[in-house]
Amino acid sequence: MMMEEIKTTIIDRIKLHFSDAVEKEFSYNRLDFSVKKETVPSILFYLKEEMGFKHLSHISCVDWLEEGEFEMIFILWSPEEKIKVFIHTRVDRSNPVMDNIDMIWRQANTYEREMKEMYGIQFTGLEAPEEFLLEDWNGPPPMRRDFDTEAYAAKTYWERPGREDALDVRETVEKRTGEVLPEFAKKYKR
Amino acid sequence: MSFDLKGTLKPLTALKQFGQKPHTLTNVPFIPREAADRYRGLHYNNLDECIGCGNCSTICQNQAIDMIPVDGIEGKNGDSGLRPRVDHGRCCWCGLCVDVCPTGSLSLTKDYVYVSEDANSFLWTPGVDNPEGDERVSFFSTKETSLNDLGRIPMPELEGMERIKSFAEVVLGYNEEQARAEASRCISCGLCTEACPEHMHIPEYINAIAGGNDEDAVRIIYDNNPLPEMCGKVCTRRCEDICAIAHRGDPIAIRWLKRYATETVENADLLKEIINPEIKEPNGFKVGIIGAGPSGLTAAYYLALKGFDCTIYEANSKAGGMTMYGIPRYRFPEDSLDKQIEYIQKIGVRIHFNTKVGKDISFGEIYHNYDAVFMGVGFPKPWTLGIEGEELHGSIQAVNFLYEINNGKKVDIGNKVIVIGGGNVAIDAARVSARLGADVTILYRRRVQDMPADWEEIEGAEAEGIHIISQAIPIQFHGDEKGHITTVEYLKAEMVPDEHGGRPKPIAIEGSNTVIEVTAVLGAIGQQGDYSFLEEEFDEKVKIERGRIVVNEKQETTLNKLFAGGDSANRIADAISAIADGYRAVKGIEELLMKGK
Amino acid sequence: MINDKNSQKIVDIIRNYARKHSLWILAYGTGCGAIELPPTMTSRYDAERLGVRGAATPRQADLLLITGYLTTKSLKRVIRVYEQMQDPKYVIGFGSCTINGGMYWDSYNTIKALDRYLPVDVYINGCMPRPEAVLSGFAKLQELIQDGKANGAKEYKENLKWYRDNQKKVITNWKMPEYNW
Amino acid sequence: MREKATTLYIGPQHPGITGNMMVRLKVEGDTIVKAATEVGYLHRSFEKLIEKRNWLQSFTLLCRFCVPEPDPVEESYARAVEMIEGREVPERAKYIRVLVLELARIGSYLLWYGGQSGSLGLYTVGQWSVGDRNYILDLFEALTGARVYHMYIWPGGVRRDFPKGFEKKVIDTMDYLEKRLDDYDDLMFDNAIFKKRTKGVGIIDKEKAVEWGVVGPPLRGCGIRSDIRIDDPYEIYDKLDFIVPVEEGGDIWTRALVRRQEIRQSIRIIRQVIDNIPGGEYYNKVPNPQKWALPKGDAYARTEAVRGEVGMYLSSDGSINPRRAHFKGAAYVHAITLLEHLLVGENLADVAAIMNSLGTCPPEIER
């Protein structure tokens, strides 16, 4: 029961201050809000300073290539209330610009460096070295879903030969039985 | 800062360890240390148990496993003939390959040391490179730890005792959720396609169903089988016998999935729309087809797609042949084929019903009027037992019995019926009799596990209260003065191993005579062909051996431009081989007629 | 006298014997496999029995362990470290990753075959190799050294251009001093 | 007199560094005035690779996130998958998982003993503790089939049940370790050198600690009782009786003290698990892995590892592959923003000790 009350209070307060927040409840100690990306710094600041969500657990980014958007997720933890709050926001994939939040949590700086490198999201006012995990990288941001790592690796790195004699099980049986698989069915091979 | 005397002296207590037995394993590396009982070391593969399904290769996230041909291992039905080879330049010894192996042949051993200066020497064929690895196996999978989905999604069915009240279809069919779940069990190895006489594209349509693309599944099925609803209901499903999952669990319900896919399409128009077949321009050739059974319909459908003008002559009022008239309605309802027949007619095939060749039209007329003839006439005539009393009133042939019942006629069998035989016809006859209210017993010469009938059918029969007396050889029927059958006398048999390595033979035990009372006996020990419609001029030219028409690999008979298929031309005598015959004949006819075009 | 063929043989045997019993490993944990090195070096397995021990800098080290995958960023440092090492020097490749890419075969940031970039004397099977296997690797290397077959460094010198070309193919920004061999 | 600033690189090849990473230091004399962490030497792009792996295949990659202690990562992933799918885990599996996690904790702390004391020149402790860690690894080998990368905790439960006689082996090992811990104390915590080198070094400000993202033993070493096992209990931790040790001070010494006590608590937990483990199933089987799709949704599961919070953010688009698996390790914060902050003003000789006390683990940062 306690948890329910806490959740209701949080929802009420957030809705009061941030009209664009859409909540989603879970059965366990988790509460989600989806907001516009402009709201993110203020809602994070509010949650941290006013509502006790002192601990920034995680910042993540998901590439929804088909929808043309990046989803950013901020996961906060309240040591007092023992509840997680997820802040979801969507960033346009063609012009990925986000507000920098490393003045709220210093460690967000690292996450932003990584996201900038891996997804190509620009954080306005981010001060950090250009490179983080990659060195002399000249391809597209690698975590974007349209980057094909397998093809890149096959092209760039030499692979040890000696395995060309491998056969496909299905094709071996097909050949033996004389079965002819129509073209449109081939995509359903394993 | 003050001097910390305690802190300075305390570390010196380490000296008390002097003289203690050291922990060091001094034998290593000169004598390898035995790993734990569950250690995940180098692979071992039991080459005889392995079926080359390639599931290990599929699960491997490192693409470490290749399937390669191995000396001394030939591919056969249910075995691709390939064996896994592990690239130790990729492997991470996670053991997922072991946990997904459907036969349990692949395992990991306690051996872990392999050191070499040659980077190309790290390709490892388990079982070939360590034939003695059997004794070192440490990490293996069992039925309990297997990652395969071993349990089949149960098919919704009528209750056993509910069934015999009517001829309502027993199997209710999967709903969407069940079908997706069942299809998801498939590991897509494709070994089943070899067992299928028609070589249907089984893994592909199952994957389509699992992925929620039922229309694609229907399209893939129709690629080489125009009667999937028939197969979906009554196929003998050799594919399921060799299913990789069946080595440890229940095979994938391939037949029910096909049935599910076809049932998602409501009518013939929709069917045509989904399949959207490419029909070639008419090429001017006419093909006559005798018999609208599975082989005839298949031949007609694919010939029509290729632009041939096809006409079918069928003696009965409905298409489907033996499946329609020999299989009881609770397995194969009367309307099962309507949609498919309508669809076949829609693409241009003409079917003349109630036209018996030899009576309503002569064979010669057909043969001379068409550019090619396909004959799928089946086995309409039952074998007789050849024992005393078989002519008595109440001794009925099961095939005739089923035919009459399926035509809506009444057959008086009384309340105590004996069925003789162990095939599907016998079980069908028994279950039909049970539905007519009789107390039914099946007599079979061999053991229950030797019955050629479908195990599901046998189980179904038992659930419906049918007794099976195995190892029983009938020797005589006794009748009353009115010529009506009253009792059946049979001998008990014992199974004697065959010295030629064949299946064990039943040998009657002298003096074990048993007599049971009956009101009717249904004989179901097999059928044979009836070629009386062939006029004399053809009779000699069409070669018939042991009751079967002799055909070559293109289904061509010894008579020019006559093709044959189905029960009357193959030894397997089931619907799917008939369909395969029809499909092959299409190629034969096309080659014959389109030569040079 | 030193030019005498037989004497040279004796010198070689003595020299190889000495070399094989003083394999100093460069303390550079390049990948996962490094986690099995502390157990290898400490009381239970005690690699020092074989004359194997750690060395802090490349100049004093004889043995470079590539303990698994190498990212291109690491590869650059590893090459530099290897070239700084003094002869005689040897390389041991740990586990799958050094042979054919291992788990990271489709990663955009790791090389697949180590022997394209550095000469490898011994490969140890495993992911990762356990201390017993590592010790077997050391023993194998010692065997090769005794037989005079561990000639990776020589090969590297002779085929420097080939190695260099391969290295430059994956290291796009080559800003390193060229060593004078 | 102000000395001239020099730039020094510690790592990636450096005997004092905790793995393949680098810290760029600006020093004046022996005092550090600026520090910058440089990582990327171990970036294998797991999270990219997982996009092409299915839900089961991914689990084999995940343990490689953190080499010294892979089990919390497996646990986080398994739990995140279970959260998205709503899959139940059998009670016995939960106990086994806790056992594995605590064994891993002990093993990892024993390695830390070696690292922490070694960074201060006390090599004997390392010889002992790392040697003794092998006995924990032997238990893992018997239970999971591998020494380091266990690949044992997976969605739905654990991979295999206890082998025969395993319980006794665990208890024997715990008895042995408890005796050995006193020996370590003699050499390490009672050692004047250790005390002098660690007290008052690398102090984390208690007021700012939570905001700075400090977790695990470093946070508890600041006097804040924070542990995911009690704050956000998972598996069966709420049924177990154990204490989360706290020390006031925030320096290397208190962090070490916290760890020292935690080993004993872990031993206590393991004894409770062995005493109370119920029978029954150990695995709630997942469907055919080739076609196992999770419903659309996301989850973040976190586990208390020796370094602190180890989290896994999983996002599913309803297909057979994870849309995104984003791993968060404590070192991601500790070794970058926190370390850069802590090193300023410290002595050059203490860098390795501070890094060790924060539980720096580069593979976890770079993934």
Among D138, D190, D289, beta carbon nearest to B10 = D190
The CATH code for residues B382-526 is 3.50.50.60
Mean of pLDDT values over D156-170 = 89
Taking each helix axis from N to C end, the angle separating B214-222 and B254-263, rounded to the nearest 10 degrees, works out to 110
Q: Are D303 and D75 in contact (CB under 8 A)?
A: yes
**DSSP reduced 3-state for A152:** helix
- D326 membership: H or E segment, kind and range: strand D322-328
Q: Are B256 and B174 in contact (CB under 8 A)?
A: yes
CA B343/CA B262 separation, integer angstroms: 13
- Whether C34 and chain A come into contact, CB under 8 Å, resolves to no
- Whether D44 and chain B come into contact, CB under 8 Å, resolves to no
Burial of B412 (0-12, 13-18, 19+ CB in 10 A): exposed
Query: What is the residue type of C30?
Result: T
Q: Check residue B11 and give its pLDDT.
A: 80
Is C83 inside any structural domain? Answer: yes
pLDDT tens for chain C, residues 1 to 181 = 556 788 888 888 888 888 888 888 887 878 888 888 888 888 888 888 888 888 888 888 888 888 888 888 888 888 888 888 888 889 998 888 888 888 888 888 888 888 888 899 999 888 888 888 888 888 888 888 888 888 888 888 888 888 888 888 888 888 877 765 5
Return the residue in B37, B42, B94 with the most chain D beta carbons within 10 A, the one to mutate for interface testing: B94
Give the class (CATH, top level) of B280-380+537-597: alpha beta
Q: Tokens in use for D42?
A: 């171990």
Domain with CATH 3.50.50.60 in chain B: 280-380+537-597, 382-526
Partners of residue D24 in chain C, C-beta under 8 Å? none
What percent of chain D is predicted at pLDDT more than 70? Answer: 99
Interchain proximity C101–A159, CB inside 8 Å: yes
- Whether A60 and chain D come into contact, CB under 8 Å, resolves to yes
The domain containing residue C110 runs over which residues? 5-170
**DSSP reduced 3-state for D354:** helix
- B479 membership: H or E segment, kind and range: strand B472-479
CA D336-D341-D345 angle, 5° bins: 135
pLDDT tens profile D272-331: 999 988 888 888 888 888 888 888 888 999 899 888 888 889 999 888 888 888 888 888
Q: Check residue B61 and give its pLDDT.
A: 87
- Whether B89 and chain A come into contact, CB under 8 Å, resolves to yes
- Whether A158 and chain C come into contact, CB under 8 Å, resolves to yes
CA dihedral C2→C5→C6→C11, nearest 10 degrees, is: 50
Mean of pLDDT values over B209-223 = 86
Smallest CA-to-CA distance from B298 within B320, B331, B270, B328 is with B320
Regions in chain A scoring below 70 on pLDDT: 1
| Distance to chain A for B102, nearest Cα, Å | 15
Listed by number, the residues of chain D in 77-96 with a beta carbon closer than 8 Å to a beta carbon of chain C are: none
Partners of residue B190 in chain A, C-beta under 8 Å? 169-170, 173-174
pLDDT tens profile B69-120: 888 888 888 888 888 999 888 888 888 899 899 998 999 998 888 888 888 8
| Distance to chain D for B94, nearest Cα, Å | 6
CA B529/CA B494 separation, integer angstroms: 32
Name the fold adopted by A2-165. Answer: Beta Polymerase; domain 2 (3.30.460)
Interchain proximity A62–D337, CB inside 8 Å: no
CA B337/CA B354 separation, integer angstroms: 17
- Whether C108 and chain D come into contact, CB under 8 Å, resolves to yes
The bridge status of strand B548-549 relative to strand B544-545 is: antiparallel
Q: What is the pTM of this model?
A: 0.87
Q: Check residue A182 and give its pLDDT.
A: 81
Give buried/exposed letters for B520-550 (b at 16+ CB in 10 A, else e). bbbbbbbbebebebbeeebeeebebeebbbe
Q: Are D111 and D130 in contact (CB under 8 A)?
A: yes
Q: Check residue B194 and give its pLDDT.
A: 87
Whether the link from the prior residue into C128 is cis, omega within 30° of 0, is yes
Phi, psi angle pair for B245, to nearest 5°: -65, -25
Interchain proximity D291–B210, CB inside 8 Å: yes
Give the residue on D whose Cα is nearest the Cα of B137: D145
pLDDT band at B385 (very low <50, low <70, confident <90, very high): confident
pLDDT tens profile D80-110: 999 898 888 999 999 999 999 999 999 998 8
Mean of pLDDT values over D19-23 = 84
D18: pLDDT strictly greater than 80:
no
Chain C: partners with 3+ C-beta pairs within 8 Å:
A, B, D
pLDDT band at B340 (very low <50, low <70, confident <90, very high): confident
Partners of residue C38 in chain D, C-beta under 8 Å? 111, 114, 126, 130
Give the residue on B whose Cα is nearest the Cα of A179: B199
pLDDT tens profile B398-447: 888 888 888 888 888 888 888 988 888 888 888 888 888 888 899 898 88
Return the residue in D21, D44, D64, D112 with the most chain C beta carbons within 10 A, the one to mutate for interface testing: D44
pLDDT tens profile B152-202: 888 888 877 777 777 888 888 888 888 888 888 888 888 888 888 888 888
Round the average pLDDT of chain D to a whole number and report it.
87
Smallest CA-to-CA distance from D110 within D179, D181, D15 is with D181
CA D237/CA D269 separation, integer angstroms: 9
Among B35, B139, B187, beta carbon nearest to D288 = B187
Interchain proximity A169–B190, CB inside 8 Å: yes
pLDDT tens profile B283-301: 888 888 988 888 888 988 8
- D314 membership: H or E segment, kind and range: strand D308-316
Interchain proximity C172–A142, CB inside 8 Å: no
Give the residue on D whose Cα is nearest the Cα of C41: D127
| Distance to chain B for D296, nearest Cα, Å | 15
pLDDT band at B597 (very low <50, low <70, confident <90, very high): low
pLDDT band at B558 (very low <50, low <70, confident <90, very high): confident
Partners of residue C129 in chain D, C-beta under 8 Å? none
Phi, psi angle pair for B230, to nearest 5°: -65, -50
Scan for tokens 């995990």, then name that residue: A133
Interchain proximity C96–B62, CB inside 8 Å: yes
Q: Are B169 and B330 in contact (CB under 8 A)?
A: yes
Domain with CATH 3.30.70.3270 in chain B: 43-139
Smallest CA-to-CA distance from B507 within B515, B495, B517 is with B495
Mean of pLDDT values over B358-384 = 86
Give the class (CATH, top level) of D5-366: mainly alpha
Q: Are D147 and C38 in contact (CB under 8 A)?
A: no
Partners of residue D313 in chain A, C-beta under 8 Å? 58, 60, 73, 75
Give the residue on B whose Cα is nearest the Cα of C121: B117
What is the second-level CATH architecture of the domain B43-139?
2-Layer Sandwich (3.30)
Give Cβ neighbours of residue D51 (< 8 Å, ≥ 6 apart). A145, D321, D322, D323, D324
CA C27/CA C61 separation, integer angstroms: 9
Q: How far apart are the first and last CA of chain C?
A: 28
CA A143/CA D324 separation, integer angstroms: 10
pLDDT tens profile D314-324: 999 888 888 88
Q: Which CATH number fits domain B150-276: 2.60.40.10, 1.10.760.10, 3.90.650.10, 1.10.1060.10?
A: 1.10.1060.10
**DSSP reduced 3-state for B467:** strand
DSSP class per residue in C1-64: -TTSHHHHHHHHHHHHHHHHT-EEEE----SGGGGGHHHHHSTTT-GGGGTEEEESSGGG-SEE
Q: Are D333 and D215 in contact (CB under 8 A)?
A: yes
DSSP class per residue in C56-76: SSGGG-SEEEE-S--BHHHHH
CATH number, residue C142: 3.40.50.12280
Query: What is the residue type of B187?
Result: I
Helix residue spans in chain D (DSSP H): 46-50, 55-62, 71-85, 91-118, 123-144, 166-187, 192-198, 206-209, 217-220, 228-231, 252-276, 330-333, 339-343, 351-357, 362-366
CA B256-B259-B261 angle, 5° bins: 115
Chain D: partners with 3+ C-beta pairs within 8 Å:
A, B, C
Is C175 inside any structural domain? Answer: no
Partners of residue D60 in chain B, C-beta under 8 Å? 61, 92, 94, 96
The count of domains in chain C is: 1
| Distance to chain B for C127, nearest Cα, Å | 5
Chain A: partners with 3+ C-beta pairs within 8 Å:
B, C, D
C-alpha distances (whole Å) from D262 to each of B575, D108, D205, D258, D329 are 71, 12, 22, 6, 20
CA D308-D309-D310 angle, 5° bins: 115
Q: Are B146 and B247 in contact (CB under 8 A)?
A: no
3-state DSSP: chain D helix, strand, coil percent, rounded to 5? Answer: 50, 15, 35
Interchain proximity B68–A165, CB inside 8 Å: yes
**From its phi and psi, is residue A120 left (phi > 0), alpha (psi between -120 and 50) or beta?**
left
Domain with CATH 1.10.1060.10 in chain B: 150-276
